[in-house]
Amino acid sequence: MRHITTAIERCRDLPHAFAVHRVPFFLEPSYLDEPEDFRESHTDRMVRKFGSLEAFERFKASHGLVPRAGEVGLGWTEEALGARVQSATLRSQRLVQWAAHRHSLAAAEALYAGLSRRHFTEGAALNDTSVLADVAVEAGLERQSALAFLASEEGTDEVLAAFERTTQLGIHSIPTLVVDGRIVLSGAARADEVEKALRGLGTPSGNQLFADCLAF
């Protein structure tokens, strides 16, 4: 995310402005078929995904997630990543969209950053209602309002519709940067790459791929 925000800052001279709006994406769609409180260890998930612990270790060595996270100051460690509790993320996805639509994109981004810290460095499960409420408060939102929203079904259909749209568009990984209705970059691009892509967009068309899905 820091590469994107850096690129946006560099593009302040353009006649149009950019803002970041997170779109729901499920790295583990199979969790949607599980009870909403389903959880498993990170290692169990990876062994299930890659077929063996050895295959997972090979992938981890080649992926370089910790060094890349270090480039943007996230401070992740192998130990912290391995200690994570994996879970369904529908609740957290709904809460981020609620913050964006009912409060501001800045509040949603603060919430997203807080949730990332709790999960990636502290191992928290992203379907833990108490954790979600705590992070909402940290982001400047009202705890009881967040809890009331989480206790409802509001936003569920919209989040699932947005995820279905990403599938239809052939988006199968994150980060994927969509600007002006166009998929601009897929993958963890550096700030220079993002800036080049933003400057090459030309006159905005105003096309939006997810506005109809996420209107709640």
Q: How far is CA 63 from the centre of its chain?
A: 19
pLDDT digits (tens, 9 = 90+) for 197-216: 999 998 888 888 999 999 86
Under 8 Å between Cβ of 215 and 175: no
Token pair 């981004």: residue: 109
Give the model's pLDDT for residue 76: 67
Token pair 């550096």: residue: 190
Burial class, 17, CB count within 10 angstroms (exposed 0-12 / middle 13-18 / buried 19+): exposed
In angstroms, rounded to a whole number, what is the distance separating the alpha carbons of residues 115 and 137?
Answer: 12
Confidence of residue 185 (pLDDT cuts 50, 70, 90): confident
In order of start, what are the domains of the chain with their CATH numbers? 22-170 (3.40.30.10)
Q: What mean pLDDT do residues 164-190 have?
A: 88
Token pair 């080049």: residue: 196
pLDDT digits (tens, 9 = 90+) for 48-74: 989 998 998 888 777 766 566 556 556
Give the model's pLDDT for residue 71: 61
Give the model's pLDDT for residue 75: 64
Q: Which residue has the higher pLDDT, 34 or 174?
A: 34
Q: How far is CA 149 from the centre of its chain?
A: 19
In angstroms, rounded to a whole number, what is the distance separating the alpha carbons of residues 216 and 209?
Answer: 15
In angstroms, rounded to a whole number, what is the distance separating the alpha carbons of residues 35 and 16?
Answer: 44
Give the model's pLDDT for residue 106: 94
Give the model's pLDDT for residue 101: 93
Q: Which residue has the higher pLDDT, 191 or 79?
A: 191
For residue 13, give every residue at least 6 positions away whose Cβ sits within 8 Å of its Cβ, in sequence order, or none. Answer: none
Residue 187, pLDDT above cutoff 80: no
